[in-house]
Chains A and B, each alone.
Chain A
Amino acid sequence: MMDRALAMDNLYAGAVDRTLTDEQLAAKARAGDSAAMEELYLRYRQPIFRVVYRSTRNIDEAEDIVQDVFLKAFERLHTFREQSRFSTWLMRIALNLCTDRARMRHRRQELLEREADHKLAWSHPNAPDPIEAARQNAFQEAFYTALDQLPEHHRQLIILRDLEEMDYEEIAQILGVSVGAVKLRVMRARRAFKTKLEPLLRAIGELE
Chain B
Amino acid sequence: MRRLCRELERSIASGASELPSALQAHIAQCARCQHLWRLEQAYRRGLHAARSEPVPACEVPWTPIQARLAEQKATKRMPIGRPYAYAGGFAVALLAAYLTWLVRAPQQNAPALLATPSPAIRQDQSLKASEPPKANFAPERAVRPMAPNQVASAAPAPRPNRIAPAATFQKTGSRPKATEPLAQAALTAKARLPRQAEAPSEGSASIALNAEPFAVASLPLSQYELHNSLQVEYLPIHYGTPSSDTDNEGNPHDAIICSF
Chain A contacts to B: CB under 8 angstroms: 1-2, 5, 8-9, 12-13, 34, 37-38, 41-42, 45-46, 48-50, 53-54, 59, 62-63, 66-67, 70-71, 74-75, 136, 139-140, 142-144, 162-163, 165, 187, 190, 193-194, 197-198, 201, 206-208
- Can you offer 8 A-B residue contacts whose CB atoms are under 8 A? A45-B60, A46-B58, A63-B59, A142-B46, A143-B46, A193-B43, A194-B40, A206-B42
Interface size, chain B (Cβ < 8 Å):
29
Task: For chain B, residues 1 to 38, give those with C-beta under 8 angstroms from any C-beta of chain A.
Answer: 13, 35, 38
Of B39, B45, B64, which is within 8 A of A198 by CB? B39
Q: Which residues does chain A contribute within 8 Å of B84, judged by CB atoms?
A: none
Are B47 and A163 neighbours in the complex by a CB distance under 8 Å? yes
Task: Give a binary string over B46-57; 1 marks a CB under 8 Å from any A CB, 0 the rest.
Answer: 110111010111
Q: Which residues does chain A contribute within 8 Å of B105, judged by CB atoms?
A: none
Docked Cα-Cα span, A6 to B149, in Å, equals: 128
Are B45 and A139 neighbours in the complex by a CB distance under 8 Å? yes
A34-B66, A63-B60, A75-B69 in contact; A53/B55 too (CB < 8 A)? yes
- B35 — nearest CB in chain A belongs to which residue? A207
Are A54 and B55 neighbours in the complex by a CB distance under 8 Å? yes
Are A139 and B55 neighbours in the complex by a CB distance under 8 Å? no
B62 at the A/B interface (Cβ < 8 Å)? yes
B61 at the A/B interface (Cβ < 8 Å)? yes
Docked Cα-Cα span, A84 to B72, in Å, equals: 26
B129 at the A/B interface (Cβ < 8 Å)? no
Docked Cα-Cα span, A135 to B59, in Å, equals: 32
Q: Which residues does chain B contribute within 8 Å of A144, judged by CB atoms?
A: 50
Docked Cα-Cα span, A46 to B56, in Å, equals: 9
Of A13, A49, A54, A208, which is within 8 A of B58 by CB? A49
B68 at the A/B interface (Cβ < 8 Å)? yes
Give 3 closest A-B pairs by Cβ, nearest first.
A49-B58, A143-B46, A63-B60
Q: What's the least CB distance linking B57 to chain A, in Å?
A: 5
- B66 — nearest CB in chain A belongs to which residue? A34
A12-B62, A42-B62, A163-B51 in contact; A139/B39 too (CB < 8 A)? no
Among B46, B61, B66, residue most surrounded by chain A Cβ atoms (within 10 Å): B46
B80 at the A/B interface (Cβ < 8 Å)? no
Docked Cα-Cα span, A187 to B40, in Å, equals: 13
B65 at the A/B interface (Cβ < 8 Å)? yes
Are A46 and B47 neighbours in the complex by a CB distance under 8 Å? no
- B36 — nearest CB in chain A belongs to which residue? A194
Q: Which residues does chain B contribute within 8 Å of A49, judged by CB atoms?
A: 55, 57-58
Are A207 and B62 neighbours in the complex by a CB distance under 8 Å? no
15 new A-B contacts, CB < 8 A, other than A46-B58, A49-B55, A193-B43, are A8-B61, A9-B61, A38-B66, A45-B58, A45-B60, A54-B50, A59-B56, A63-B59, A66-B60, A74-B69, A75-B69, A136-B49, A139-B42, A139-B49, A206-B42
Are B57 and A67 neighbours in the complex by a CB distance under 8 Å? no
Are A70 and B39 neighbours in the complex by a CB distance under 8 Å? no
Of A12, A63, A190, which is within 8 A of B43 by CB? A190
A53-B56, A75-B69, A75-B72 in contact; A207/B42 too (CB < 8 A)? yes
Are B58 and A70 neighbours in the complex by a CB distance under 8 Å? no
A75-B69, A143-B50 in contact; A1/B59 too (CB < 8 A)? yes
Q: What's the least CB distance linking A143 to chain B, in Å?
A: 4
Q: What's the least CB distance linking B239 to chain A, in Å?
A: 91
A187-B13, A197-B43, A198-B39 in contact; A143/B55 too (CB < 8 A)? no
- B57 — nearest CB in chain A belongs to which residue? A2
Q: Which residues does chain B contribute within 8 Å of A208, judged by CB atoms?
A: 38
Are A2 and B43 neighbours in the complex by a CB distance under 8 Å? no
Docked Cα-Cα span, A9 to B56, in Å, equals: 18
Are B42 and A197 neighbours in the complex by a CB distance under 8 Å? yes
Docked Cα-Cα span, A207 to B60, in Å, equals: 41
Q: What's the least CB distance linking A137 to chain B, in Å?
A: 10
Q: What's the least CB distance linking A189 to chain B, in Å?
A: 12
Q: What's the least CB distance linking B210 to chain A, in Å?
A: 98
Docked Cα-Cα span, A187 to B157, in Å, equals: 123
Q: What's the least CB distance linking A115 to chain B, in Å?
A: 16
